[in-house]
Chains A and B, each alone.
Chain A
Amino acid sequence: MVNSMAGLRDFLIQRVSAVLLVIYTVFLVSYLVWHAPIDYMAWHGLFAYVPMKIATLLCLAALLLHAWVGMWTIATDYLKAFWVRFLFEIAVFLTLIACFFYGLLIVWGV
């Protein structure tokens, strides 16, 4: 038996990230509803606010970590050939990292 905390760690990552994403989504939907009809300037103003930038990046990181745990789980279930799984995991990892930096550029560019 592999004795490590990896399972508990991933379990916590998925739960905590899911809670963060729910809070962020509820806030964003509430904002859209309360400020309807929303225009570009209001939307721009929201994301120009520094705490909103930090919250957005935090949620982006949570989403990507959540996705990584899920994709790793799928890979270890269905991809049994070592090299296939290894290449798949590298591809997923690089894609998620790229998404994060792309998101960072967008959010910090507002």
Chain B
Amino acid sequence: MRFSIYRYNPEIDKKPYMQDYDVDIVANSCNMVLDALLVIKNTIDETLTLRRSCREGVCGSDGMNINGKNGLGCITQLSTVKEPVIIRPLPGQPVIRDLVVDLTQFYKQYEKIQPYLQNKDPLPSTERLQSPEDRAKLDGLYECILCACCTSSCPSFWWNPEKFVGPAGLLQAYRFIVDSRDTEKQARLNDLTDAFSVFRCRGIMNCVDVCPKGLNPTAAIDKIKQEMLKEIVK
């Protein structure tokens, strides 16, 4: 199977280029895109650089653009991709080397939404309990693995990465806004009412299309807007 892979080493290369590799995926027992990339790295070209860790779609390290669509190499089956398989780094992010991108801006936006439970009530003697109904509201939100596939596929994030929080950050923002144990809902919403943080989402839904965990950041963003409206009507 032929792979055409984005190569760029800023210490050597003046500009990025695509390099072709042929991998015998049957002889090497490759099922996933990541398997083939590791065969290339381990047996053909050890200079190929990529991030990977768990190999099973949990760590979110190997987010990459596969045939034009962001996804995780470790859970993208080779039987589902067309040949030649064109592998590029996540779009819109500065490339450190080959398939490794600098996600500093992505993490800054994540940090901005204060992704931790805040509760200013006195500490209870036992744990803070949550009803099964309230707990169910977190389903579809907490599962995000921060692979950046969604945010790096979002044109609004490409154009305004310093101001727009992006789908991954906003999914997590809503995860804490809707958490019954968090007392800072209003402050969280107030931090997002400017023209960019949430409202630069134009409902393109690339995030929903690419999320390897099947999550729906656009729905979460709409719910944040609904919560803001409820706050001003209240």
Contact = CB atoms under 8 A, between A and B. Distances in A.
Size category, A interface: 10 to 19
A78 B194 CA distance: 19
Contacts, number: 49
B190 A3 contact: yes
Contact of A4 (B163, B195, B225): B195
A29 interface: no
Interface residues of B, number: 22
B159 A77 contact: yes
A6 B112 CA distance: 19
Contacts of B199: 7-8, 10-11
Determine chain A's interface SS by DSSP, over half rule: helix
A62 B200 CA distance: 21
Contacts of B197: 1, 7
B198 interface: yes
A78 B112 CA distance: 24
A5 B193 contact: yes
B216 interface: no
17 contacts: A1-B112, A1-B191, A2-B194, A3-B190, A3-B193, A3-B194, A4-B193, A5-B193, A5-B194, A7-B192, A7-B200, A8-B228, A8-B229, A73-B200, A76-B196, A77-B155, A77-B156
